[in-house]
Amino acid sequence: MKEKILMRIWIGAIFFMGMVLVISGCSKKEVSTDPLNFYNMVLVGMPKEEAEKILAVEGSAKGKGFNYVDENTGYGVTLSYDTVATAAEEATAETDAEEAAEVVVFKQLYVPDNTYLDGLVNANVTAEQVNSLTEGMPYEEVKTILGGVDGTEINSAYNKKDAANPYTVMAWFNPDRSVAYITFLGYQGTVKVFEFRPGE
């Protein structure tokens, strides 16, 4: 009789512990180690309220923008907000700036210091390769010239003339901390400006 009672207590305890583990496992939030985690969560044109809800951290004021830092990686995103009218709204002059919602008009990868650039290394490009680029060149051609490696988007800005094609800056980071910065019209669009900065 005592053995049956002890067995039931033992089974109950095991069941209880199993439930505790299941519940704690389900409530555990997944932790990202991706430096671009916060940057990729937000899109230019996204309402401020939505961006802040997705990031779920308090932003700290930085000039005209706000820094949102992922405590797990140290990287983050800097966002600037403004009210934006569509071309149709501007044409009919019906936009009331006070009523319009603020949206993301600029986003930039937040990097706490130069040592964090090491975590972004993705290429081994030269100044000669970069200087062989020309304005209007499509992204895929740029990628081929720079060794077939995708660049890392590090900032994006709203384009008033063409909202569907923001200005984006992509970077190719070398191990010696030299960087190729290329500005495109549109996401992976066509080249506008290019620059090679030597390492330290």
pLDDT at 32: 81
Radius of gyration (C-alpha) of the chain in whole angstroms: 24
Instruction: Give the distance, in angstroms, between the CA of residue 107 and the centroid of all CA atoms in the same chain.
Output: 8
Tens digits of residue pLDDT in 102-158? 999 999 999 999 889 899 999 999 999 999 999 999 999 999 999 999 999 999 999
CA dihedral of 174, 177, 178, 181, whole degrees rounded to 10: 80
| Residue 143, CA distances (Å) to 128, 149, 152, 156, 194 in order | 14, 6, 11, 19, 13
pTM, whole model, 2 decimals?
0.77
Confidence of residue 99 (pLDDT cuts 50, 70, 90): low
Tens digits of residue pLDDT in 8-56? 554 554 544 444 444 444 444 577 889 999 999 999 999 999 999 999 9
Confidence of residue 85 (pLDDT cuts 50, 70, 90): low
